[in-house]
Structure 1
Amino acid sequence: MSVAIRPLSGPAEVNAAFRVFLRSMVGLRFGQLDAATITEEGRYLGAFDCEVIVGGADSYSSQLVVPGGARVPHAAVTHVGVLPTHRRRGIVTGLIERQLHDIADRGEVVATLRASEAVIYERFGYGIASSSRAVTIDARRARLRDTVPDGDTNDVRLVDDAVTTELLEDIYRRAATWVGAIDRPAGWWRLQQLRRDAAPVQHYVAVHSSDGVDDGYVVYKPEDPDHWFSSDAKTITVVDFVASGPTARAALWRHLLTLDLVDLIEWPAVALDDSLPLAVTDPRAVRQGAAHDETWLRFVDVESALRARTYRIDDPVRLEVVDPLIDRNNAVFEIGPKGTERVTGKSDATTDVATLAAAYLGGTRWRSLAEVGRVDVSAASAVDRLDGLFAAGALFAGTVF
């Protein structure tokens, strides 16, 4: 590779790299955004061909919620792109490998990203740790069951013109305890505010409170408002939905389902096991889209990540992990309900770091991975024990970065 890779220095280089990212993605529109206002100093890497930036890879400092509720230091990787004139020269490989080592130097345990293409990142050790799907609700037919918690729409207030980033961020910070949720960094919140301010349509925001404490919110917008009153399918899109418990969730559902002049409600991304389809009396009023990958996870420190999460009750398993990029991750780990230890000797099963990432949050069963040859099993019961240990609860969906 004939290019040099280094951290970007100053707003001019950051904005030049961000323009490269936009050019490489083709379909993104950010207007006159100053990228220096939504990035963190020192984390954006640039690839230079002489003095010209031809590629980049960025990340945010964050935390990731893992099974058991612990939050591990985490890098949210984004803005990865190379100019079409410089593809297939190993530039992305150089950027990602350098980034992984920089992330390790910062003491961050895992990295995650949302992939524009599904065939790029597994070769760098990333695995699909969670998935989501789009959902469309026919509000004309959807009614919540009587068994749904009594979330009262009287506890919902509208803050369309008074919404602040601080208000939403405070609610999210308290509510984001689901496995797979990340601490949304400051740059993420600034970008959402800029998008709302620049949008050609009004964004509406409703907040739920319980006993005087804000514990949920929904942000939504109308589609095709120019033809709103002549349309027989007036549609709103849920931009962000956060609720800390079933009461707030039910109240916000009721708010959306009882809006006047709304026929369809679209959720671009909900968790695969989201309870909304089970909450309505007419299941055909909820149309669920195909599952698609959301969280791509990469271990930077396998041992620390395995120790951070909890495991269900089952017999321990000795798992050998293979990582071609980060040597310290190559080891045998004994994983059990009492924790994880690095050990020596023979393993019960062997897998690569990307496959381990797919199973880490509980989003993919070890049995499924073994059936397609992604786990080399030497002990007959190893896969069943791994499934028992790694089983986890509901996964979060809906944070794009």
Structure 2
Amino acid sequence: MTELRVLRKDDRDRWYGTLERAFGGAGEPPRKRELLDELTEPDRSLGAWDGEECVGTAGAFSFRLSVPGGSLVPAAGVTMVSVAATHRRRGLLRSMMRRQLDDVRERGEPMAVLTASEPDIYGRFGYGLATNCLAMEIDTTRVRLASLPEAADAVELRYASPADPEVGRAIEDVYARAVTRRPGMLARQPGWERLQLLDPPEERAGASALQCVLARRDGEVTGFALFHVTGEADMAGAKSVVRVRDVYAGDPASYAALWRFLCEIDLTWTVSVGNCPVDDPVLHLLSDVRRCALRVRDITYARPVDVGGALAARAYRAPVDVVLDVRDAFCPWNEGRWRLSGDAQGAVCARTGDAADLALTVRELGSAYLGGVTLRALADAGRVTELRPGALAEASLAFGSDVAPWLPHGF
């Protein structure tokens, strides 16, 4: 007998309370909660109500997602999903996912993406693992940056205040230029730049306030690094950690100069990075990756909501002309055969009565969509079936990307 409805102004506190309790009960710091309230889109935020009690939440942000070829595709950023522990196994999550995907379709967004606290949950709703990220713990007492571009020595580095609006604009300009160069990144809506620079003391875990260094070449800002430094020490002396939040640059020299700076900060022993691309160029600058404790984990799960629109919105690494037999039990409007024809300049994708070349579910399409998971790997796992000899090799090559897709921050 639960009621599903969009978020009303007077429901907001109870709605957030249900969400926070589902994720352990610790509330956000006041400044962060205030900004999240501003960014939340009430008409895209659903609540399941049992009388006056909120027992389920789900939301979405209106994003544009970078795809292979550099286009920005409208995408729903699914977020804030929870079901009260007292109301599990009643179909609440399924009903919220149903309502949400219907809404995404009505809005004309061909894609939906999310980060999953429990990855096992979302496959049944058509979401497939699309991007991974890399974490590192660089032992800077044993690892150095080697073979840097000669131009790195000419890059000017200066500390800057993240709270300075002019610095914030420079940072966002660098980020915006990076978005179309790597699939999977999000073109940030107004307000999101403030969230990325937010620095609540409650979230520093004993480290310094957020620090910023800007890189300049010929007077222009070409990159930045955002980081914290801990104040750790023992009887042998200081052994602080540099906790890197972001490093971006528009050219190899600036990127190398920023990483060299981070690895050479006085009184520090380790550079800790929680999220960078799996093919990050810094891997080829480090003298010994074995001492960097590399760890790969999943980050983005993607789902085509409009198969034809999604596949036509991206470019392809090689010419492709293939008929896909798509199964999508949760969004049946996607079921059937689709002919995809495209190359590096663009693509068309339309329904067809022709014989299928490959058979797969929408979940596999989501995994392959950004170019980070190959159709060949999915076929080897038994999740894609080749119906025409040679079609798998053709499509797997075409769906690939020159750079690994990556999601730089959560939502």
TM over 0.5: yes
Instruction: Name the CA distance, whole Å, in 2 between partners of 1:297 and 1:101.
Output: 16
Q: 1:337 to 1:105 in 2, by over 3 A?
A: closer
**1:276: how far off?**
1.4
Q: Structure 2 vs 1, CA of residues 118 and 136 (structure 1 numbering), >3 Å: closer, same or farther?
A: same
Instruction: Give the structure 2 partner of residue 202 of structure 1.
Output: 209
Report which stretch shifted further, 262-271 or 328-337.
328-337
- 1:392 correspondence with 2:393: no
- 1:31 aligns with 29
CA distance in 2, matches of 1:188, 1:375: 37
Amino acid at match of 1:129: A
Q: 1:397 to 1:150 in 2, by over 3 A?
A: farther
Q: 1:327 aligns with which of 326, 329, 332?
A: 332
Aligned to 2:109: 108
Distance change (3 Å), C-alpha of 1:114 and 1:337: same
Secondary structure (helix, strand or coil) at the match of 1:207 reads strand
CA contact (8 A) 1:312 1:337 kept: no
Equivalent position amino acid for 2:242 in 1: I
User: Displacement, 1:314?
Assistant: 4.2
Residue ranges of structure 1 left out of the alignment (5+ in a row)? none
**Residue pairs, 1:286-297, within 5 angstroms:** 286-289=292-295, 291-297=296-302
Number of residue pairs the alignment of both structures matches: 397
In 2, Cα distance between the equivalents of 1:19 and 1:55?
10
Q: Which residue identity is paired with 1:206?
A: V
Q: 1:267 to 1:326 in 2, by over 3 A?
A: same
User: What does the per-residue CA deviation read over 1:187-225, in whole Å, with 9 as the maximum and x for residues that have no partner?
Assistant: 5434334444654541111122233332321111124x3
Percent of aligned positions that are identical: 33
Q: Report the more deviating stretch, 198-207 or 253-262.
A: 198-207
Change (3 A) 1:183 1:137: same
Q: What's 1:8 paired with?
A: 7
Structure 1 residue 229 displacement after superposition = 8.7
Counterpart check, 1:298 vs 2:303? yes
Structure 2: distance between partners of 1:276 and 1:72: 28
Among 262, 265, 283, the residue aligned to 2:268: 262
* Paired AA for residue 7 in structure 1: V
Matched, 1:247 2:247: no
User: Are 2:348 and 1:340 aligned?
Assistant: yes
CA distance in 1, matches of 2:386, 2:155: 56
Q: 2:284 aligns with which of 268, 272, 278?
A: 278
Partner Cα separation in structure 1 for residue 71 and residue 235 of structure 2: 48
Deviation at 1:59, TM superposition (A): 1.3
The answer on whether the counterparts of 1:153 and 1:254 sit within 8 Å (CA) in structure 2 is no
1:99-138 paired onto structure 2 within 5 Å: 99-138=100-139
Counterpart amino acid of residue 21 in structure 1 = L
CA RMSD of aligned residues (A): 2.2
Tell me whether 1:180 sits opposite 2:178 in the alignment: no
| Alignment partners' CA distance in 1, 2:329 and 2:150 | 49
Equivalent-residue separation in structure 2 for 1:89 and 1:385 (angstroms): 44
Give matches, 1:29-108, under 5 Å.
Answer: 29-32=27-30, 33-34=33-34, 35-108=36-109
With the length of structure 2 as denominator, give the TM-score of the two structures: 0.90
Deviation at 1:353, TM superposition (A): 0.4
Distance 1:139-1:314 versus aligned 2 partners, 3 A rule = same
Change (3 A) 1:147 1:240: closer
Cα deviation, residue 298, structure 1: 1.1
C-alpha change, 1:197 and 1:190, in structure 2 (3 Å) is: farther
AA of the residue aligned to 2:406: F
Q: 2:172 aligns with which of 169, 173, 177?
A: 169
Unaligned runs of 5+ in 2: none
Looking at structure 2, the residues matched to 18 and 37 of structure 1 have their Cα atoms a distance apart, in angstroms, of 13
TM-score after normalising by structure 1 = 0.92
- Contact 2:175–2:248 (Cα < 8 Å) also in 1: yes
Distance 1:275 1:226, change over 3 A: closer
Deviation at 1:174, TM superposition (A): 2.1
1:317 maps onto 2:327 in alignment? no
For the residue of structure 2 that corresponds to 1:111, the secondary structure is: strand
Over 3 Å counting, the alpha-carbon distance change for 1:245 and 1:77 in structure 2 is farther
Structure-2 residue corresponding to 1:307: 312
Cα deviation 1:75-97 (Å, max 9, x = unaligned): 11111111111122111111111
2:389 pairs with one of 363, 377, 380: 380
What is the rounded CA distance, in whole Å, between the counterparts of 1:219 and 1:370 in structure 2? 40
